[in-house]
């Protein structure tokens, strides 16, 4: 993970631990487990998965108790099978149990995104088409979920509204004329410099027109079937344009291969983040002699 992603993780860890411990701590462990009781904890995969969130999980344990001894045995992006160990943690049983659920929540969610992404990437095997994520992320979790997409083999689209231009029909208040688009692109270039500019099209006549507009980097082909996508690719190739083409809208795991066969450069899938299911990971404890 990048430095900004780890900073986002630290902020979320603080929030999550505050939700769970609320300044009082784990009152169950405090009153049922002796303070000097020590354990070895192992976070284990209970299914096949693509891993993400190892460092985040480690930071949860370290935040709860800096005295815990933590060893990461796998890394983000690893393909794990049932029974493999992600990390071990040794120390106070009270501390391990206080951190357990929060550590697992991060690891299960992020590995769920990575695992779903890996399945989609596998469906694109043999093609040159790259898989993109979207902004359809859990509020507050965007940087982490985008890291999980990369761990699964996907490629990040823009991070937010601030780092790239995406011109959709609602932005073209004058009806989407080429002149309106040219003027808007000129304003962007003057104010923002060399940011990526992408324009949405849902008809082939729009694609044909947008291919003539200087400054466009990507045309997003919205809700087009495989037949229309092939025609759009043919138009781009015939024009000798360097503009890239992205298919989006209604994409499923089952349709990915057919869409990639049309020759589009990218396929974006919102489901990678908005519909990923948490994977099955668990913490197993083994009692150690008291120190």
Q: Are the CB atoms for 143 and 6 separated by under 8 Å?
A: no
**Options 78, 133, 198, 200, the catalytic residue:** 200
- Burial bucket for residue 267 (CB in 10 Å: 0-12, 13-18, 19+): buried
Question: pTM of the entire structure?
Answer: 0.95
Q: Is residue 168 annotated as part of the catalytic site, yes or no?
A: yes
Question: Which pLDDT band holds residue 169 (cuts at 50, 70, 90)?
Answer: confident
Q: What is the pLDDT at residue 177?
A: 81
Domain ranges of the chain: 3-114+277-288, 122-274
**Between the CA of residue 127 and those of 152, 221, 235, what are the distances in Å?**
17, 18, 20
* DSSP SS3 for 153: coil
Q: How far apart are CA 147 and CA 167, in angstroms?
A: 25
Query: What are 74-95's pLDDT values in tens digits?
Result: 999 999 999 999 999 999 999 9
| Mean per-residue pLDDT, 53-78 | 98
Of these residues, 20, 65, 101, 217, which one is catalytic?
Answer: 101
Instruction: Provide the pLDDT confidence category of residue 170 given band limits of 50, 70 and 90.
Output: confident
Report the pLDDT averaged over residues 125-149: 98
Band of residue 289 on the pLDDT scale cut at 50, 70, 90: confident
Mean pLDDT on 177-185: 90
Summarize the confidence of residues 60-75 as an average pLDDT: 98
Residues 6+ apart with CB under 8 A from 88: 40, 41, 42, 43, 70, 71, 73
Active site residue 136: yes
- Tell me the average pLDDT across 7-19: 98
How confident is the model over 60-67, as a mean pLDDT? 98
* Overall average pLDDT of the 165-174 stretch: 85
Q: Which residue in the list 180, 202, 222, 280 is annotated as catalytic?
A: 222
Token duo for residue 182 = 């040219």
CATH topology assigned to domain 3-114+277-288: Aldehyde Oxidoreductase; domain 3 (3.90.1170)
Q: How many Cβ atoms sit within 10 Å of the Cβ of residue 48?
A: 14
Instruction: Determine the average pLDDT of the residues in 209-217.
Output: 95
Mean pLDDT, to the nearest integer, of 100-104? 99
Q: What is the chain's mean pLDDT, rounded?
A: 96
Which of 36, 92, 35, 82 has its CA nearest to residue 62? 92
Please confirm, yes or no, whether 222 is among the known catalytic residues: yes
pLDDT at 195 over 90: yes
Per-residue pLDDT tens for 35-57?
999 999 999 999 999 999 999 99
Active-site residue, 146 included: no
pLDDT at 65: 98
β-strand pairing of 85-92 with 69-72 = antiparallel
Residue among 42, 119, 136, 230 flagged as catalytic: 136
Mean pLDDT of 247-273: 97
Position 290 pLDDT exceeds 80: no
Q: Rounded distance, CA 184 to CA 163, Å? A: 16
CATH of domain 122-274: 3.20.20.70
């Amino acid at each position: 993970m990048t430095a900004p992603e780890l900073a986002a993780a630290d902020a979320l860890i603080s929030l999550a631990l505050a939700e769970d411990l609320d300044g009082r701590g784990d009152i169950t462990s405090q009153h049922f487990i002796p303070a000097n009781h020590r354990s070895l904890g192992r976070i284990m995969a209970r299914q096949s998965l693509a891993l993400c969130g190892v460092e985040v999980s480690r930071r949860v344990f370290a935040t709860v108790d800096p005295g815990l001894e933590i060893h990461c045995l796998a890394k983000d992006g690893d393909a794990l099978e049932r029974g493999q160990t992600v990390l071990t943690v040794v120390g106070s049983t009270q501390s391990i149990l206080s951190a357990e659920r929060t550590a697992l929540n991060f690891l299960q969610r992020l590995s769920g995104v990575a695992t779903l992404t890996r399945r989609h990437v596998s469906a694109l095997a043999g093609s040159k088409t790259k898989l993109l994520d979207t902004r359809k992320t859990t509020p507050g979790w965007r940087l982490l979920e985008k890291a999980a997409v990369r761990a699964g083999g996907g490629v990040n689209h823009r991070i937010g509204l601030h780092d790239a231009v995406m011109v959709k029909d609602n932005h073209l208040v004058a009806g989407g004329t080429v002149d309106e688009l040219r003027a808007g692109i000129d304003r962007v270039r003057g104010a923002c410099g060399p940011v990526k500019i992408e324009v949405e099209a849902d008809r082939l006549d729009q694609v044909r027109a947008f291919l003539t507009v200087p400054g466009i980097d990507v045309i997003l082909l919205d809700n087009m079937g495989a037949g229309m996508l092939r025609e759009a690719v043919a138009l781009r190739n015939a024009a000798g344009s360097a503009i890239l083409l992205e298919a989006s809208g209604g994409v499923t795991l089952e349709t990915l291969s057919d869409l990639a066969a049309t020759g589009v450069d990218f396929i974006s899938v919102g489901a990678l983040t908005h519909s990923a299911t948490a994977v099955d990971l668990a913490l197993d404890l083994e009692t150690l002699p008291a120190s």
